[in-house]
């Protein structure tokens, strides 16, 4: 098991599951780094709207789609 990160962590290595990788690829239009940055931007938006980690996503007033994200084949190409 990896050691936990600290607030001073500058870089981290994470092994992505296939669904996580697909989500980041989708968010970045085929670019994992851009997808990661877009997910961070989305969280910043949600935080600015008052969302906190202990809150249910329904508190944002958006519809959550629990379907699987699109496949990698449809994103890269």
Total-model pTM: 0.69
The pLDDT of residue 10: 86
Report pLDDT for 65.
Answer: 67
Whole-number Å distance between alpha carbons of 13 and 4: 11
pLDDT at 3 over 80: no
22 versus 76: which is more confidently predicted?
Answer: 22
If you compute the radius of gyration of the chain from its CA atoms, what whole number of angstroms results? 15
Q: Give the tens place of pLDDT for each residue, 6-60.
A: 889 888 888 999 999 999 999 999 999 999 999 999 999 999 989 999 998 888 8
């Amino acid at each position: 098991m990896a050691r936990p990160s600290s607030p001073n962590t500058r870089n981290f290595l994470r092994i992505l599951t296939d669904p996580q990788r697909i989500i980041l690829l989708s968010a970045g239009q085929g670019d994992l780094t851009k997808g990661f940055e877009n997910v961070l931007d989305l969280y910043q938006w949600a935080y600015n709207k008052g969302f906190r980690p202990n809150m249910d996503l329904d508190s944002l007033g958006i519809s959550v789609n629990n379907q699987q994200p699109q496949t990698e084949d449809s994103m890269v190409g």
